Amino acid sequence: MGLIGLELWWFLLSKPKSQKAVAASQGIQEVTITVDGGYEPSRIVVEALKPVRLLFDRRDPSSCLEQVLIPDFHIAVDLPLNQVTAVEFTPKQVGNYVFTCGMNMFHGEIRAEALNT
């Protein structure tokens, strides 16, 4: 029963943790994502039309997490173990963009919102 309850919570009730990107040097929005059994945080909020730098800190040795894909931006980057890898792009419009591991087992989301004026 406990295992069934855990599975139900994991798949139905757990919500991905969200983090808003912070402005780094030269107006680039930046977030560090820990890659360890998935992505933490798995939901990133950025402003559209501003450059974004995602810093993937891979700690998990599994082969599934050796690569990150962001299809909408034509990005496929290898993530060396125990290193931080920067991925940069600029969302040109408001919307949701997914990122996945190389085997499409782990997922994250980038939410590009309208500029704050």
Print the domain residue range for 37: 16-113
- Digit-by-digit pLDDT tens for the chain (117 residues) are 766 665 554 454 444 567 777 777 788 999 999 999 999 999 999 999 999 999 999 999 999 999 999 999 999 999 999 999 999 999 999 999 999 999 999 999 999 999 765
Residue 98 is part of a domain; what is its CATH number?
A: 2.60.40.420
Q: Is 114 helix (H, G, I), strand (E, B) or coil?
A: coil
Q: Is residue 4 part of a domain?
A: no
Domain tally, the chain: 1
Place of tokens 């029963």: 1
Q: Is residue 98 part of a domain?
A: yes
Kindly report the backbone phi and psi dihedral angles of residue 12, in degrees, each rounded to the nearest multiple of 5, phi listed first.
-110, -35
Q: Is residue 47 part of a domain?
A: yes
Q: Is 34 helix (H, G, I), strand (E, B) or coil?
A: strand
Q: CA-CA distance, 79 to 92, in Å (whole number)?
A: 25
Q: Is residue 71 part of a domain?
A: yes
Residue 104 is predicted with a pLDDT of 94
Q: Is residue 34 part of a domain?
A: yes
CB of 39 closer than 8 Å to CB of 33: yes
Residue 52 is predicted with a pLDDT of 96
Residue 60 is predicted with a pLDDT of 96
The half-sphere exposure of 77 on its side-chain side, counting CA atoms within 13 A, is 21
Q: Is residue 106 part of a domain?
A: yes
- Chain-centre distance of CA 64, in angstroms? 15
Kindly report the backbone phi and psi dihedral angles of residue 35, in degrees, each rounded to the nearest multiple of 5, phi listed first.
-105, 100
